[in-house]
């Protein structure tokens, strides 16, 4: 769906200045329908506008992961408010912008078209619900808004509605605010997940599902602490809403079924594969003629998962995060330059994406904004 004919707006701005302490996690990195809110709304804007920017707090930084062609703009005013973000981008681009909050869960193209179509002849076009409620974070703003915005911000105020009496406003009527579902709390996030979920949500994904999961391996030399790192990062990934599976590589033969048990006897009778099922768990055991590649394991057994985190597969994993710990007694990392997408270490080593040993939350955000890259194998 292209821009409306003769649209006065060709710049889309994602307002991503805050980390939303009310949610308990950085909500920009919450995952909905396989992508972070940050990436979902950037993709929404890129479908509409040739120029897209993400605006963040004064002096802040942000990891956009595998999103490309996006300009990062920092607020010219401290405080991290949406008003500061909109004013800063109006100053930066010197032409009308469409502003979208990062925490709007389900932006709709038809709603954006209605707002953009209403802007000509006005300084602001924004949704109006009922008699008293406006949604200024899914709205178009023209350059005439900048002087009153600047005056409000310089006075230490940050409410966008404070400028409305001073500019020409086009109100675009909507029956309710369901199109502008904001995620402010984890309850809001849970409601958004229920809204987006298919009818069978709640059941475990079936092996062999169609959706390819993202895939990453934690690698490192022996006794580096790979399992400990996985224990730290998996809970943080789950907090971001990811459905996570893990794979542990074992270079030797192993046995998880016990001799003499009924299921073991099935295998001894000649079954090439058998399952042990209960109301809480299912174990699937199959005999192999040779080692199954990690990518095949992820595709075959983790369909419907968001991310598979493997331990090991240091030479064959398509995407690797290396753990290098000085306390393990090693003198140099396992991976060569460019082989690991991130490095978790307590050593003073150079890497574009380096994390401390205890920064499971940082590593989880790093992986969450690269899910598309991690699905490439």
Q: What are the tens digits of pLDDT across the range 84-124?
A: 999 999 999 999 999 999 999 999 999 999 999 999 999 99
Reduced to 3 DSSP states, what percent helix, strand and coil does the chain have, rounded to the nearest 5? 30, 20, 45
- Superfamily for the 11-195 domain: Spore Coat Polysaccharide Biosynthesis Protein SpsA; Chain A (3.90.550.10)
Strands in 187-314 per DSSP E: 214-219, 244-248, 273-277, 282-286, 307-311
> For 117-164, what is each residue's pLDDT tens digit?
999 999 999 999 987 789 999 999 999 999 999 999 999 999 999 999
Average pLDDT over the chain, rounded to whole?
90
The pLDDT value given to residue 371: 96
φ/ψ (deg, to 5) at 61: -140, 165
- Give how far Cα 111 sits from Cα of 108, 115, 189, 197, 360, Å: 5, 6, 21, 22, 38
The pLDDT value given to residue 1: 57
* Cα distance between residue 281 and residue 279, in whole Å: 6
> For 317-349, what is each residue's pLDDT tens digit?
999 999 999 988 888 999 998 899 999 999 999
Query: Could you count the other beta carbons within 10 Å of the beta carbon of residue 369?
Result: 21
* Cα distance between residue 101 and residue 177, in whole Å: 14
Q: How distant is the alpha carbon of residue 329 from its chain centre?
A: 35
Q: What are the sequence ranges of the domains in the chain?
A: 11-195, 214-259+290-374
Task: Give the range among 122-136, 269-283, 303-317 with minimum mean pLDDT.
Answer: 269-283
The pLDDT value given to residue 186: 92
Check residue 144 and report its DSSP letter: G
The pLDDT value given to residue 198: 61
pLDDT score of 201 more than 50: no
pTM, two decimals, is 0.87
Reported as half-sphere exposure (CB side, CA atoms, 13 A), residue 320 has a value of: 22
The sign of the torsion formed by the CA atoms of 369, 373, 376, 377 equals negative
Question: What confidence tier does 311 reach under pLDDT thresholds 50, 70, 90?
Answer: very high
Q: Domain 214-259+290-374: which topology?
A: Rossmann fold (3.40.50)
pLDDT score of 32 more than 70: yes
Helix (H, G, I), strand (E, B) or coil at 300: helix
* Cα distance between residue 206 and residue 101, in whole Å: 35
Percent of the chain at pLDDT exceeding 70: 92
> For 3-15, what is each residue's pLDDT tens digit?
666 778 999 999 9
Residue (of 34, 40, 24, 31) closest to 238 by Cα position:
31
């Amino acid at each position: 769906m292209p821009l409306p004919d003769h649209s006065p707006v060709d710049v889309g701005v994602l307002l991503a200045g805050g980390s939303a302490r009310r949610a308990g996690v950085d909500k920009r990195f919450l995952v909905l329908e396989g992508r972070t809110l940050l990436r979902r709304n950037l993709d929404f804007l890129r479908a509409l506008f040739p120029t897209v920017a993400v605006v963040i707090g004064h002096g802040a930084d942000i990891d956009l992961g595998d999103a490309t062609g996006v300009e990062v703009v920092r607020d010219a005013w401290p405080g991290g408010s949406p008003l500061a973000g909109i004013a800063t981008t109006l100053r930066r681009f010197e032409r009308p912008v469409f502003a979208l909050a990062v925490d709007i869960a389900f932006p709709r193209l038809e709603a954006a078209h209605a707002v953009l179509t209403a802007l000509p002849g006005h300084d602001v076009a924004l949704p109006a619900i009922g008699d008293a409620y406006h949604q200024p974070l899914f709205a178009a703003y023209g350059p005439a808004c900048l002087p009153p915005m600047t005056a409000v911000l310089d006075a230490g105020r940050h409410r966008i509605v404070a400028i409305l009496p001073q500019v020409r406003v086009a109100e675009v009527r909507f029956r309710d605010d369901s199109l502008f579902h904001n995620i402010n709390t984890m309850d809001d996030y849970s409601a958004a997940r229920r809204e987006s979920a298919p009818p069978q949500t709640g059941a475990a994904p079936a092996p062999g599902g169609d959706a390819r999961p993202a895939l990453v391996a934690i690698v490192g030399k022996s006794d580096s602490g790979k399992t400990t790192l996985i224990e730290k990062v998996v809970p943080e990934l789950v907090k971001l809403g990811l459905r996570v599976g893990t794979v542990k590589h074992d270079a030797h033969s192993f046995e998880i079924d016990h001799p003499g048990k009924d299921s073991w006897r099935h295998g001894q009778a000649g079954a090439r594969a058998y399952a042990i099922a209960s109301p809480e768990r299912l174990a699937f055991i199959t005999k192999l003629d040779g080692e199954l590649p990690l990518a095949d394991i992820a595709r075959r057994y983790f369909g419907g998962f968001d991310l598979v985190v493997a331990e090991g597969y240091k030479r064959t994993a398509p995407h690797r995060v290396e753990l290098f710990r000085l306390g393990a007694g090693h003198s140099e990392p396992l991976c060569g330059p460019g082989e690991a997408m991130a490095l978790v270490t307590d050593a003073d080593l150079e890497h574009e994406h380096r994390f401390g040993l205890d920064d499971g939350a940082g590593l989880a955000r790093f992986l969450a904004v690269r899910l598309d890259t991690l699905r490439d194998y």
